[in-house]
Amino acid sequence: MKKSLFVGLLTFLIIGCSDFGDINVDPNNPSTVKTELLLTNSLTSISDVVGATTGTLYVQYMSETQYTESSRYQTSRFDFNGWYSGVLQDLQTIIDLNSNPETAPDVLSGGSNGNQLAVANIMQVYFYQLLTDRWGRIPYSEALKGNENLTPAYDAQDAIYADMIQRLKDAVSAMDGGTGVRGDIIFGGDMDRWEEFANTLRMRIALRMSEANAGTAQTEFNAAVSAGVITSDVMYPYLAEAANQNPWYGRFQTRTDYAISSTLADTMQSLNDMRLTVFANPAPDLDNGDGTVELSEINGMPYGISNAGDITNASISFPGSAIGAGGPSVGQQDAPLPIFTVAEVNFARAEAAARGWGGTAATFYNAGIDASWAQWGVDGDAAALTAYKADPAVAYNAANWREQIGYQKWIALFPQGYEAWSEWRRLGFPTLTPAPDPLNDSGLIPVRHAYPTSESDLNKENYDAAVAAQGPDELDTNLWWDQ
C-alpha cells in the first residue's frame, strides 16, 4: 500500500511539473529579444540630436535668459558614455542578432535580416558622426565589445570618416528587398526612404571633409547624389503627449530659459527674412495684438552676457511654436523638428558646384532658399521671397560663395544646433562674435568638446594617446576636418 502511494505521488509530480514551464515564463520579460523594440528606442535618440540646446547656443540661435553659463562656454568636459551604453549598444545588438546565423531566424519579427542590418548600420553612422564631430578622435573600431574590451583605443577621425562612408554603402547593398523594418517611427519601414537617408548622410559626411580630403570628398559626394538623396524633408515625429513630446515644448512649460538671440534676429530683420516670424514670437512690449507676427515685433536677446537677469521677459522674443516652444499657451507639443531637409541638400549641392564638382551653384543656392521658406510655411508671399533673393546681401555671388552659403545654411539649419555648429566651424561663416563675458580661458567659441573625466581615469593609456595625436584636450583644439 505504501509502495502504491509512493508511485502515485511520483506520477503526480512528474505530470504536474510539465505545467510549471508556462508558469515560469514572464510575459513582460521575453527570452527572445524584440529587435523592433530596440529600433524604436534607438530612433527616439534622434531627438537628443535635433532637439539639443548646446549647439544652438554655440551658433547663437538662442540666448540664455537667466543662467548664462552654457552660452559663456563654462562647461568644457562633456560625457559621451551614455551614447555608447545606450543607443549605439542597442543598434549593435540588432546588428549582432541579425548577422549571427544561429539567432538571425529568431528576430524576423523586426523585418528581414538584411534590412535590419542596413538600418542599424545607417543609424550607428548617424550617431557616430555626431560623436566624432563633437570630440574628434573617439573609441570606434574597438568600441561596443562589452567585457571583451573595457578600454577601447581611439580611432583617428579621418579613419572614422572613411569607415562611415563605406558602412553606408555596405548598408544600402545589404537591403534585400524583403520585409521592411518594423518599429520604424521615421519612415514606417519604407526601405526606399532609408536608402535615400543613407545617401543623404553620405553626402553630408563627404562635404564635411571637403577641406581635409577634397578628392575623396568630391567622389563620394557626387556618388551619393547620383544614388539618390532625399526629395522631401525628413522630420522627427513628436507626439501630443509627454512620453514623446517636442523637447522645446517641454522646456517652456515651467521656465523661459531660452530666447531668440539678437545675433539671429538682427541678421534676419536686416534682410526682411520672413522665416523669423516663425522662428520667434513677438516681444510682449512690441506686440500690437493683432495676432500676426511682424518682423518689427521681434527683439532678440543679447548673447552671452553675465547680467541677463536685468533684461525683462516682456522686452525679448522667445522661440516660436513652430519648433514647439513659446510657453504653455502657445507651444506645440507635437511640433516636428528637422533631421534632414531639402534646403540642406540644395545648399550642399550649391557648395559642391562652387567647388567645381558639377552643377550650377546659383541654381541650387536659390533652390535652397526656396525650400527653406517653404519648409517654414512663409513662401506664400511670393513678392517678399523674390525681393529677399534679389537683395544684394543675399543674391548669389560666385566670388563670395563661402560667406553667402555659410550665412544661408546657418539660417536654414535652424534649430539644428549641432549640425549648424559643424558647418560654422568648417566654412568659417557666419561671422559670430564670442560671448562678451566668457567663462572659458580663451574667450573663443568652442570648436570641440573635451573628453569626460572617466576616460582619463579609466582608459588613461588610450586617452593619453588620443590627446597626444589630436592636441590638447580642450575646447580650442581643431578637429581633422577643421584646420
The string of DSSP letters for 103-166 reads: TGGGGGGGS-HHHHHHHHHHHHHHHHHHHHHHHSSEE-TT-S-GGG-SSPPEEPHHHHHHHHHH
State mean pLDDT over 353-373. Answer: 98
Taking a C-beta distance cutoff of 8 angstroms, is the pair 174, 112 a contact? no
Q: Which CATH number is correct for 33-54+80-232+445-483, 1.25.40.390, 1.10.357.10, 3.40.50.300, 3.30.1490.20? A: 1.25.40.390
Residue 406's nearest CA partner among 385, 388, 432 is 432
Q: Which pLDDT does position 1 carry in this prediction?
A: 37
**In whole angstroms, what is the distance from residue 298 CA to residue 275 CA?**
12
Q: Would you say residue 32 has pLDDT above 80?
A: no
State mean pLDDT over 346-358. Answer: 98
SS3 213: coil
How many alpha carbons lie under 13 Å from residue 73 in its C-beta half-sphere?
23
Long-range contacts of 327-333 (CB under 8 A, 24+ apart): 327/252, 327/253, 327/256, 328/252, 328/253, 330/281, 331/246, 331/248, 331/249, 331/252, 331/253, 332/246, 332/249, 333/238, 333/239, 333/240, 333/241, 333/245, 333/246, 333/249
Q: Would you say residue 26 has pLDDT above 60?
A: no
Containing 466, the helix (H) or strand (E) segment is helix 460-470
Q: Would you say residue 211 has pLDDT above 70?
A: yes
**In whole angstroms, what is the distance from residue 339 CA to residue 357 CA?**
25
Taking a C-beta distance cutoff of 8 angstroms, is the pair 199, 227 a contact? yes
Phi then psi dihedrals of residue 441, to 5 deg: -65, -45
Q: Cell numbers at residue 360, please?
A: 550650377
Q: Would you say residue 6 has pLDDT above 60?
A: no
Q: Which pLDDT does position 17 carry in this prediction?
A: 44
**In whole angstroms, what is the distance from residue 130 CA to residue 476 CA?**
18
Q: Which pLDDT does position 13 carry in this prediction?
A: 36
Q: Which pLDDT does position 2 carry in this prediction?
A: 41
**In whole angstroms, what is the distance from residue 374 CA to residue 343 CA?**
9
pLDDT in tens, 234-279: 999 999 999 999 999 999 998 999 999 999 999 999 999 999 999 9
Confidence of residue 18 (pLDDT cuts 50, 70, 90): very low
Domain ranges for the chain: 33-54+80-232+445-483
Neighbours of 75 (CB within 10 A): 15
Q: Cell numbers at residue 454, please?
A: 572617466
373: Cβ contacts below 8 Å, ≥ 6 apart: 274, 275, 379, 385, 388
What is the β-pairing status of strands 62-64 and 234-236?
unpaired
- Placement of cell 513582460 in the chain: 28
Q: Which pLDDT does position 201 carry in this prediction?
A: 98
Strand partners of residue 63 = 259
User: Would you call the peptide bond into 237 cis, given omega within 30 degrees of 0 as the criterion?
Assistant: no
Taking a C-beta distance cutoff of 8 angstroms, is the pair 98, 107 a contact? yes
Q: Would you say residue 30 has pLDDT above 70?
A: no
Taking a C-beta distance cutoff of 8 angstroms, is the pair 261, 61 a contact? yes
**In whole angstroms, what is the distance from residue 152 CA to residue 148 CA?**
10
Q: Which pLDDT does position 202 carry in this prediction?
A: 98
Q: Would you say residue 452 has pLDDT above 50?
A: yes
Question: How confident is the prediction for the chain on average, in pLDDT?
Answer: 93
Q: Which pLDDT does position 356 carry in this prediction?
A: 98
Phi then psi dihedrals of residue 260, to 5 deg: -65, 130
Taking a C-beta distance cutoff of 8 angstroms, is the pair 269, 286 a contact? no
248: Cβ contacts below 8 Å, ≥ 6 apart: 51, 319, 323, 324, 325, 331, 335, 337, 415
Residue 354, exposed/middle/buried by CB under 10 A (0-12, 13-18, 19+)? Answer: buried
- Placement of cell 555596405 in the chain: 170
SS3 339: strand
Residue 357's nearest CA partner among 225, 218, 212, 210 is 218
Residues in the chain: 483
Taking a C-beta distance cutoff of 8 angstroms, is the pair 367, 346 a contact? yes
User: Any idea what DSSP says for residue 435?
Assistant: P
SS3 340: strand
Q: Would you say residue 31 has pLDDT above 60?
A: no
Neighbours of 360 (CB within 10 A): 13
SS3 289: coil
Confidence of residue 5 (pLDDT cuts 50, 70, 90): very low
Strand partners of residue 337 = 236
Angle at 72 between CA 71 and CA 76, to 5 degrees: 95
By mean pLDDT, which of 169-183, 327-341, 393-407 is the weakest?
Answer: 327-341
Residues 210-226: b if buried by 16+ CB within 10 A, e if exposed: bebbeebbbebbbebbe
pLDDT in tens, 99-146: 999 999 999 999 999 999 999 999 999 999 999 999 999 999 999 999
Q: Would you say residue 370 has pLDDT above 90?
A: yes
State mean pLDDT over 56-81. Answer: 97
pLDDT in tens, 97-111: 999 999 999 999 999
Q: Cell numbers at residue 233, please?
A: 524633408
Q: Would you say residue 67 has pLDDT above 60?
A: yes
Q: Which pLDDT does position 293 carry in this prediction?
A: 93
